[in-house]
Amino acid sequence: MKSRSLAMSQAMGHRCRSFAPLLQAAALMMLLALSVQAAPQGGAIWTEEPWMDQAEEPPAEAKTTLSDPITFHLNGSEPGNVIVGGVRYNYSDCFIGDCCPGPGNSSIQLWIQEDGSWMQYQQIAAGESVELIAHTPEDGSADLYLISYANSSIAHWSIKTLSSYYHRLRLVPEETGRFFLILSQGSRPSSALILDVLPRPPDAAAASLDVEDVRLGEALITVRSERMRGFDVQVNGVFFSSDESDGSLDGTASFTVGAGKTQTITVFQRKGRDIINKSEHARSFQRDRAYTLWLA
């Protein structure tokens, strides 16, 4: 009886020893499965830091600008009225000898255009545009001077003119005060225009601040890989950059995206017509931050 019990014990011990390697293998497989599930997709790791190049700078002071001249024939583009010295004339009643615009006029002319009238005075707010009409009796260069009465400063532009055309220009003054505009060619000046520029309306200034407050800004994204070369990068399904966008096949691609919302970054390689090694990485980005996506 004792010998039979001993035999059964030995048999059971042998079976336990035979199951031990199987249990160890099963446990190892479970650990591997858990480690795979916990690892980032494709071995991807995100890092971030402040985007120093995007630090806010004080806004540059706005400057008065003048557009390039656009030529046009006076015939068919005549003004309805001409205002000289505060007196309004119908264009049909205006004579060239009175320095009114007209074909063959040998004088240098400078006008302000508003609706269908040409005039010598206008009042606008800073940042608004004023339409200028210029004419010279000779082909070549002419000089336009904007003289500030308040600041005793002079802005100068040189423009190309053709005697057989009139020229339309757009002036956008940013400084306030009274200004005088004079066009000259050689030693011959035009009549002076007077432009009164008023401060911007308070509502416009408040609106610009509201726009700045809600500006979402951008974030800098860099994708780096030690293994992959020649990859492309899409943002929300749209091509944004590639490994070769900087002219070097170095496993690095940089680009900017809008901040404050979730973006999906897709990285992949092409092999003929096939797409390989594709991975997607969705996350939200903060403005003025630099993010690096490290791929294995």
Give 22-36 pLDDT, tens digit per residue.
545 555 454 444 333
Residue 71's pLDDT band (boundaries 50, 70, 90)? confident
Residues 235 and 259 in one domain: yes
Give the mean model confidence (pLDDT) for residues 125-140.
92
Residues 106 and 193 in one domain: yes
252-254-259-264 Cα dihedral, nearest 10 degrees: -50
Between CA 34 and CA 44, with CA 39 as vertex, the angle to 5 degrees is 170
| Confidence at residue 33, expressed as pLDDT on a 0 to 100 scale | 41
| Confidence at residue 61, expressed as pLDDT on a 0 to 100 scale | 67
Q: Cα–Cα distances in Å, from 51 out to 188, 233, 274?
A: 55, 21, 36
Q: How far apart are CA 133 and CA 161, in angstroms?
A: 11
Q: Which two tokens stand for residue 83?
A: 């205002």
Among 47-61, 66-80, 198-212, 279-293, name the one with the lowest average pLDDT: 198-212
| Confidence at residue 2, expressed as pLDDT on a 0 to 100 scale | 46
Note whether 131 and 107 are within 8 A (CB).
no
Q: How far apart are CA 140 and CA 262, in angstroms?
A: 57
**For the segment 230-260, what is each residue's pLDDT rounded down to a tens digit?**
899 999 888 778 888 777 889 999 888 888 8
Residues 80 and 176 in one domain: yes
Residue 265, domain member (yes or no) = yes
Residue 128's pLDDT band (boundaries 50, 70, 90)? very high
| Confidence at residue 276, expressed as pLDDT on a 0 to 100 scale | 92
Residue 128, domain member (yes or no) = yes
Residue 76, domain member (yes or no) = yes
Range of the domain at 224: 41-56+217-295
Residue 117, domain member (yes or no) = yes
Note whether 214 and 281 are within 8 A (CB).
no
**For the segment 177-235, what is each residue's pLDDT rounded down to a tens digit?**
999 999 999 888 888 999 999 998 776 544 444 444 344 678 899 999 988 898 999 99
Query: 290 has which bridge partners?
Result: 49, 220
Residues 229 and 130 in one domain: no
Residues 76 and 192 in one domain: yes
Residue at which a domain ends, from 201, 233, 264: 201
CB atoms within 10 A of CB 19: 9
Residue 116's pLDDT band (boundaries 50, 70, 90)? confident
Residue 261, domain member (yes or no) = yes
User: Nearest Cα to 64, choosing from 199, 175, 181, 201?
Assistant: 175
Q: What value does the mean pLDDT of the chain take?
A: 78
Residue at which a domain ends, from 201, 231, 249: 201
Residues 50 and 88 in one domain: no
**For the segment 144-182, what is each residue's pLDDT rounded down to a tens digit?**
999 998 788 899 999 988 888 899 999 999 999 999 999
Residues 254 and 174 in one domain: no
Residue at which a domain ends, from 148, 173, 201: 201
Q: How far apart are CA 89 and CA 81, in angstroms?
A: 6
**3-state SS, residue 66:** strand
- The better pLDDT of the pair 99, 49 is held by 49
Residue 16, domain member (yes or no) = no
Residues 190 and 91 in one domain: yes
Looking at the 3D structure of the chain, how many domains does it have? 2
| Confidence at residue 171, expressed as pLDDT on a 0 to 100 scale | 94
CATH code, domain carrying 242:
2.60.40
**3-state SS, residue 185:** strand
Note whether 79 and 168 are within 8 A (CB).
no
Residues 248 and 144 in one domain: no
**pTM given for the model:** 0.50
**3-state SS, residue 135:** strand
CATH code, domain carrying 145:
2.60.40.1930
Residues 52 and 75 in one domain: no
3-state helix, strand and coil shares in percent for the chain, rounded to the nearest 5: 20, 45, 35
CB atoms within 10 A of CB 210: 9
Residues 161 and 130 in one domain: yes
Residues 76 and 196 in one domain: yes
| Confidence at residue 105, expressed as pLDDT on a 0 to 100 scale | 62
Ramachandran area for residue 28 (φ above 0: left; ψ -120 to 50: alpha; else beta): alpha
Give the mean model confidence (pLDDT) for residues 100-114.
74
Q: How far apart are CA 146 and CA 173, in angstroms?
A: 10
